[in-house]
């Protein structure tokens, strides 16, 4: 178990799904957590409450990552509340396929890339500027970027941007002993398309049947990978892309 006592973490998009699970995990390990949200104030409050119940401290900060000014304000609020930042998990994103490329509009493109590409870029930039020496930066990417899939052209291409940036940042800030890594999460129960209450039984069955392990990934599976990347066992791992898919390529 990783001891994060005395550490400060910022987790974007942590009012629900994967981001919430990561924020709660970090809090349970002792970190003080900045819970970021764009629209889900109630969900963010629930995440904060769960972290406090686990024995740590947390605060919710609203910021839309498609706006670099709001990202800057998020990091300023984190430092104002807790001091230096040790861990940044860039999780916020739009989890929609986007459909066939021939049907994508400019508005669709701007919306998807505004969060998944631009948001990732400036979140990683601010993380690189502010994270303490010896800290960790983790980007939550998508397993859809590992191979072309019809209907995922818009979504997967928007997520590819962050993958490249992680490799570059690992080289640019490595001298500060900061590790920068990507988790390529596959279809995850309780997140995105598979959030609670979503009408997706047929798709859920297809995903489960395609898995060598016979199940979908869970938000805890992704949190496990984050805990590895921010812990002492991965201090020599940076610039990596870890496919968290249960063996499904």
Q: Pull the structure tokens for residue 154.
A: 């818009």
199-241, pLDDT tens digit by residue? Answer: 566 666 666 656 777 777 789 999 999 999 999 999 999 999 9
pLDDT band at residue 188 under the 50/70/90 scheme = confident
Structural tokens at position 169: 């940042």
149 pLDDT exceeds 70? Answer: yes
Kindly state whether residue 73 falls inside one of the protein's structural domains: yes
- Using the predicted structure, report yes or no on whether residue 84 has a pLDDT greater than 70: yes
β partners of residue 189: 218
> pLDDT-based confidence at 248, cuts 50/70/90?
confident
Q: Is residue 151 part of a domain?
A: yes
**249 within a domain of the structure (yes/no):** no
Catalytic residue check, 155: yes
In a domain, 158, yes or no: yes
Whether the per-residue pLDDT at 6 is higher than 90: the answer is: yes
Convert the chain into a string of H (helix), E (strand) and C (coil): CCCCCCCEEEECCCCCHHHHHHHHHHHHCCCEEEEEECCCHHHHHHHHHHHHHCCCCEEEEECCCCCHHHHHHHHHHHHHHHCCEEEEEECCCCCCCCCCHHHCCHHHHHHHHHHHHHHHHHHHHHHHHHEEEEEEEEEEEEHHHHCCCCCCHHHHHHHHHHHHHHHHHHHHCHHHCCEEEEEEECCEECCHHHCCCCCCHHHHHHHHHHCCCCCCEEHHHHHHHHHHHHCHHHCCCCCCEEEECCCCC
Q: Is 161's pLDDT higher than 60?
A: yes
Task: Please report whether residue 152 resides in a domain.
Answer: yes
Local confidence band at 186 (pLDDT 50, 70, 90 cut-offs): confident
Length of the chain: 249
The answer to whether position 79 is within a domain reads: yes
Residue 237 lies in a domain: yes
pLDDT at 1: 82
**Does residue 2 sit within a domain?**
no
Summarised one tens digit per residue, pLDDT across range 87-129 is 999 999 998 878 899 999 999 999 999 999 999 999 999 999 9
Among the listed residues 37, 155, 164, 193, the single catalytic one is: 155
Q: Is the dihedral of CA 177, 64, 111, 94 positive or negative?
A: positive
Asked whether 180 and 137 are in contact (CB, 8 A), the reply is yes
Q: What is the CATH number of the domain that holds 65?
A: 3.40.50.720
Domain count, the chain: 1
Angle (CA) 160 114 153, round 5°:
40
CB 46 within 8 A of CB 58: no
Using CA atoms, how far apart are residues 212 and 244, in angstroms rounded to an integer?
13
The mean predicted confidence, pLDDT, of the chain is: 91
Calpha distance 189→112 (Å, rounded): 22
Domain with 176, as residue range(s), is 8-244
């Amino acid at each position: 178990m990783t001891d994060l006592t005395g550490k400060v973490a910022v987790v974007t998009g942590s009012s629900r799904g994967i981001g919430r699970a990561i924020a709660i995990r970090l809090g349970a390990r002792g970190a003080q957590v900045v819970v970021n949200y764009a629209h889900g104030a109630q969900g963010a409050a629930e995440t904060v409450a769960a972290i406090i119940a686990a024995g740590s401290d947390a605060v919710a900060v609203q910021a839309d990552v498609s706006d670099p000014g709001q990202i800057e304000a998020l990091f300023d609020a984190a430092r104002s509340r807790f001091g230096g930042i040790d861990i940044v998990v860039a999780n916020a994103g739009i989890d929609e396929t986007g459909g066939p490329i021939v049907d994508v509009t400019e508005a669709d493109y701007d919306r998807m890339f505004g969060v998944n590409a631009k948001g990732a870029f400036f979140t990683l930039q601010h993380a690189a500027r502010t994270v303490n020496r010896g800290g960790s930066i983790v980007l939550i990417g998508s397993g859809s970027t590992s191979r072309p899939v019809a209907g995922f052209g818009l979504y997967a291409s928007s997520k590819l941007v962050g993958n490249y940036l992680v490799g570059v940042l690992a080289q640019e800030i490595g001298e500060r002993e900061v590790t920068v890594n990507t988790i390529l999460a596959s279809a995850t129960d309780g997140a995105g398309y598979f959030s609670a209450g979503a009408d997706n039984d047929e798709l859920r069955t297809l995903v489960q049947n395609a898995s060598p392990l016979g199940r979908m990934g869970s938000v805890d599976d992704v949190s496990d990978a984050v805990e590895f990347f921010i812990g002492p066992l991965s201090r020599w791992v940076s610039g990596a892309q870890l496919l968290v898919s249960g063996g499904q390529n």
